[in-house]
Amino acid sequence: MNDNDLKKTGNGQEPQKALNFLEAIIEEDIRNAKNEGRVHTRFPPEPNGYLHIGHAKSICLNFGLAEKYNGRCNLRFDDTNPTKEEEEYVQSIMEDVRWLGFDWEDRLFYASDYFGQLYEWALKMIREGKAYVDDQSADLISEQRGVPTRPGTESPFRKRSAEENMDLFLRMKNGEFPDGTRVLRAKIDMASPNMHMRDPVLYRIMHAKHHRTGSKWCIYPMYDYAHGQSDYLEGITHSICTLEFEIHRPLYEWFLDNIIDTDYRPRQYEFARLNLSYTVMSKRKLLELVSGGYVKGWSDPRMPTISGLRRRGYTPESIRMFAERVGVAKRENVIDVGLLEFCVREDLNKKAPRIFAVLDPVKVVITNYPEGKTEDLDLDVNPEDPEAGSRKVPFTREIFIERDDFMENPPAKFFRLGPGREVRLKGAYIIKCEDFIRDEQGNITEIRCTYDPETRSGSGSERKVKGTLHWVSVPHALDAEVRLYDRLFKTEEPDIAEEGKDYKDNLNPDSLTVVNGKIEPGVKGATPYEKFQFQRLGYFCVDPDTTGNKLVFNRTVTLRETWSKISGK
């Protein structure tokens, strides 16, 4: 969130968002009728894991720019590495992009769609003396690359004739050589200060089955050799990626300049990747958390994956709002995870029906309330949404309240229940604590109160007290398993670890607490992903583990403020 982004418009009225640097570039390109004014972006995930909130940022950016400028955005799987990629990931990525509310229409592509074309271009480069087969090991090749301040060493195979290269490359393709024995390299410049220009590898031998091309190929293009050409083949105009690819840009341009003879080029622009406090974002690390059993799968509600956030109770709107507020930066920074939580609160505050849930229940008996009587009280479904109407909540002689809403010896500022004190039960009556009962261990098992029948909410009663509590009728309460999440990591920058340790040592051992709650009966029949505000406690979402006879909730986020402390109604 950056207030500097908000500038007054000419008439000084409505604040209008200033253009981010990509929007400024695109508007300039449109003005100049570059690419006939077309705007065509793409989101290019590698299907080697589930998408995370950083990808969500990139999705919102690429699809969002296309939407804003009447352009198009492709979904393209960068599937050049068969050993790490899986169909499960492809499916999850498509689900996540759709769930965020974006549509690639008929523009679903795979880098593997271009394997044939990329191969043809490799042959062209060999014929023109711009690529050669190197028989050295990967280690040796990387050693010879040298360091940025000193030129690398040329491979002894660099001067091979085009005929010999052609022959060897065909035999690589035909499966004559084992993995790792040869590579095809571009012949560029072993002295370039840009290490990526020092004869980069184009193809490696991998006798591996590809999720789409099966065993058709045993040589696979490197990501760098495929990426820019894929953009070219799809007619991408603005090829947006994260900063670490800035240094790859000259290589992408070199490839196109050496194989394409028309003028059109996709232009690459880099922005800073999203980093979030208390979060790790690399897919490699997320995979490790999953496979090491540190979390329960990619969609564990503690994970920063889109599917984890969905299960946690985040809405697509809240994530899009977050992406918008984060903006587009050119320099690396770390965004406070609190901003993400702020966005989901904002959204759910408007949408989530309110209910009563007691997560650490203690029983209250209202001794002067008739036994067996039930009153169906009217409460707002959502005071933020006038359309939402009201709900019926049963009130009886025995209710649950939160254990910490009672104190035996409360301090002066404690406006909740204590011996001789009064509180209002939200939407019901004022009650007064007359007595309480302990078990042998000293735990309070029952609080005994009286109620004032003249104080029913909505009856016009004048009497006010400072505290207001939520409650659930004992005979009507539904039982639910409630999973309370805290941050997955206990340090703000979990990637930074002490010597000899790693990010896993920064995991928060208390990131999940499971309690058994008592819930208002109106939630009966709620289905997975339905969201509620448990009044005074936070936003909660029905977990897919819910079955016909077991309700499971995930806490999405706590509330920042509660009416119990500020209102006496």
Query: Using CB under 6 A, which of 54, 327, 353, 494 touches ligand ATP?
Result: 54
- The smaller minimum CB distance to ligand ATP, of residues 80 and 468, is found at 80
Cα–Cα distance measured from residue 14 to residue 4, given in angstroms and rounded to the nearest whole number: 15
Which residue intervals of 145-265 are DSSP H helices? 162-173, 223-233, 249-259
Structure tokens at 188: 């560029």
Closest approach, Cβ 412 to ligand ATP, in A, equals 48
Does 283 contact ligand ATP by CB under 6 A? Answer: yes
Does 308 contact ligand ATP by CB under 6 A? Answer: no
Query: Using CB under 6 A, which of 16, 70, 137, 282 touches ligand ATP?
Result: 282
322: burial class by Cβ within 10 Å (0-12, 13-18, 19+)? buried
Q: DSSP 3-state assignment of 34? A: helix
Q: Are 146 and 153 in contact (CB under 8 A)?
A: yes
Closest approach, Cβ 45 to ligand ATP, in A, equals 4
273 is catalytic: yes
State the DSSP code for 195: G
Q: Are 166 and 156 in contact (CB under 8 A)?
A: no
Strand partners, 471: none
Query: Using CB under 6 A, which of 274, 306, 377, 401 touches ligand ATP?
Result: 274
State the DSSP code for 544: T
396: burial class by Cβ within 10 Å (0-12, 13-18, 19+)? middle
Residues 283, 391, 416, 555: which is the catalytic one?
283
State the DSSP code for 370: P
Closest C-alpha to 57, from 216, 206, 219, 276: 276
Residues 107, 267, 273, 363: which is the catalytic one?
273
Bridge-based pairing of strands 512-519 and 472-473 is unpaired
- The smaller minimum CB distance to ligand ATP, of residues 62 and 546, is found at 62
Cα–Cα distance measured from residue 208 to residue 228, given in angstroms and rounded to the nearest whole number: 24
Closest approach, Cβ 268 to ligand ATP, in A, equals 10
Does 427 contact ligand ATP by CB under 6 A? Answer: no
Query: Using CB under 6 A, which of 29, 45, 309, 542 touches ligand ATP?
Result: 45
Cα–Cα distance measured from residue 223 to residue 530, given in angstroms and rounded to the nearest whole number: 40
Closest approach, Cβ 94 to ligand ATP, in A, equals 13
Closest approach, Cβ 314 to ligand ATP, in A, equals 17
- The smaller minimum CB distance to ligand ATP, of residues 281 and 447, is found at 281
At residue 472, φ and ψ (nearest 5 deg) are: -140, 135
Scanning 158-166, 276-284, 360-368, 480-488 for contacts with ligand ATP by CB under 6 A, the matching segment is 276-284
* Binding footprint of ligand ATP, residue count (CB under 6 A): 14
- Strands across the sheet containing 131-134: 131-134, 183-186, 201-205, 219-221
Closest approach, Cβ 122 to ligand ATP, in A, equals 22
Closest approach, Cβ 508 to ligand ATP, in A, equals 21
Query: Using CB under 6 A, which of 20, 194, 242, 396 touches ligand ATP?
Result: 242
Closest approach, Cβ 308 to ligand ATP, in A, equals 14
State the DSSP code for 305: B
Number of residue whose CB is nearest ligand ATP = 54
Scanning 41-49, 471-479, 491-499, 507-515 for contacts with ligand ATP by CB under 6 A, the matching segment is 41-49
Q: DSSP 3-state assignment of 501? A: coil
DSSP structure string for 454-477: GG-TTTT-----S-EE--EETTTP
Scanning 19-27, 44-52, 313-321, 489-497 for contacts with ligand ATP by CB under 6 A, the matching segment is 44-52
283 is catalytic: yes
Residues 27, 46, 493, 530: which is the catalytic one?
46
Query: Using CB under 6 A, which of 26, 30, 126, 281 touches ligand ATP?
Result: 281
Binding mask 194-233 for ligand ATP (x = CB under 6 A): ----------------------------------------
Does 241 contact ligand ATP by CB under 6 A? Answer: yes
Longest dimension (CA), the chain: 101
At residue 380, φ and ψ (nearest 5 deg) are: -65, 140
Query: Using CB under 6 A, which of 5, 23, 27, 46 touches ligand ATP?
Result: 46
Does 40 contact ligand ATP by CB under 6 A? Answer: no
Query: Using CB under 6 A, which of 55, 76, 173, 391 touches ligand ATP?
Result: 55
555 is catalytic: no
Cα–Cα distance measured from residue 333 to residue 274, given in angstroms and rounded to the nearest whole number: 7
Q: Determine the length of the chain.
A: 569
State the DSSP code for 347: H
- The smaller minimum CB distance to ligand ATP, of residues 197 and 326, is found at 326
Cα–Cα distance measured from residue 433 to residue 421, given in angstroms and rounded to the nearest whole number: 6
Which amino acids are annotated catalytic? 46, 273, 283
**Residue numbers of the site for ligand ATP (CB under 6 A)?**
44-46, 54-55, 57-58, 241-242, 273-274, 281-283
